[in-house]
Amino acid sequence: MQDDIHAYGRLGIVLSMAYPSCMRSEESYVQALKKVLVDPFFEVVELGSLPFASLKASVPLLVFSAHCSFIYSAHSLLFSRKLNINSLVEEERREAVSVLKAGLDEAYALGAEEFQFLSRQYETGKEDAYLEALITSTEEVCRYAASKGSMPVVLEVFDHTIDKKSLLGPASLVRRYAKRICALHPNFGIMIDCSHIPMIGETIDEAVDPVKDYIRHVHVGNTLISDPAHPSYGDMHPRFGYPGSENDTEYLSAFLQKMKDIGYLVPGGRNMLSFEVKPQASEDSDLVVANAKRTLLAAWRMVR
């Protein structure tokens, strides 16, 4: 495409992935956030629960002063407490839902545009039972979000067997889940991530076509799954073209082509496309972000 990709959607980035140093101190967090906000390439920044209480006043002011918006990811709330929203133990499931509701409170208080979460562990052979538990939890979260305002609720599809080992997961399960939730809750949608597709063992078409009607957010990134002993193995989001990894310019171009073909990226569109990339070992965050931007532009030029 010769058209500017910014004319087809809003570009964003996951802050704590691109700049892991932001979690060290309030000053480091603000410095990293400003690097994103002063860059006109980005219109959206994706944040988790703020790591320092003092940021609750400053972060929205910084984001809105830059004429940007931000997303609230609740993933860390579940990871940090090892909570499972699709647990078959009712007390554990309710605790996870309660934590997500508290996250929604924070997201609304901060002025976030969207709320994200993910499914968690499961036992092989019991996928149907875990799916029902996830549906119950999701409906509670969607109802709670709707009771407070109009913020969309989005579930991110992760790997199923390699790293996070989330229930969702394979496109067949995602479709069953999304079809039921979206039929009752218009504030709900699915997020797909092209870095997770190789980990699930699906092609782009296999991962996207069954769920294309439910996609509300898209991540782009990379993964390394060729060597389980490698320190970057799994859901580590190395830069595009990282040695031994799966995704580079041609793969990203094919994924962008698919997003255009299904109508997610359209002229004048405002759907979000966010980088989830992370420096490996001693790599420099700024260079990894530059890699992502450069690769995206090169991939977009190959789109028809």
Q: C-alpha angle 214/154/94, rounded to 5°?
A: 125
pLDDT at 96 over 80: yes
**Segment 130-181, tens digit of pLDDT:** 999 999 999 999 999 999 999 999 999 999 999 999 999 999 999 999 999 9
pLDDT the model gives residue 256? 98
- The helix/strand/coil state of 208 is helix
Cα–Cα distance, 33 to 68 (Å, whole number): 11
Number of structural domains found in the chain: 1
Pair of tokens at residue 116: 């994200």
- The helix/strand/coil state of 96 is helix
Cα–Cα distance, 211 to 182 (Å, whole number): 11
**Segment 47-61, tens digit of pLDDT:** 999 999 999 999 999
Give this prediction's pTM. Answer: 0.96
pLDDT the model gives residue 215? 98
Please state the rounded mean pLDDT for residues 283-288. Answer: 98
CATH of the domain at 164: 3.20.20.150
pLDDT the model gives residue 1? 77
Question: What is the residue-averaged pLDDT of the chain?
Answer: 97
Q: How confident is the model at residue 263 (pLDDT cuts 50, 70, 90)?
A: very high
pLDDT at 2 over 90: no
**Segment 16-49, tens digit of pLDDT:** 999 999 999 999 999 999 999 999 999 999 999 9
Helices and strands in the chain, H and E counts: 11, 8
| Residue 24 lies in domain | 5-301
pLDDT the model gives residue 280? 98
Query: According to the 3-state scheme, what is the secondary structure of 240-285?
Result: CCCCCCCCCHHHHHHHHHHHHHCCCCCCCCCCEEEECCCCCCCCCH
Strand partners, 12: 44, 274
Please state the rounded mean pLDDT for residues 230-244. Answer: 97
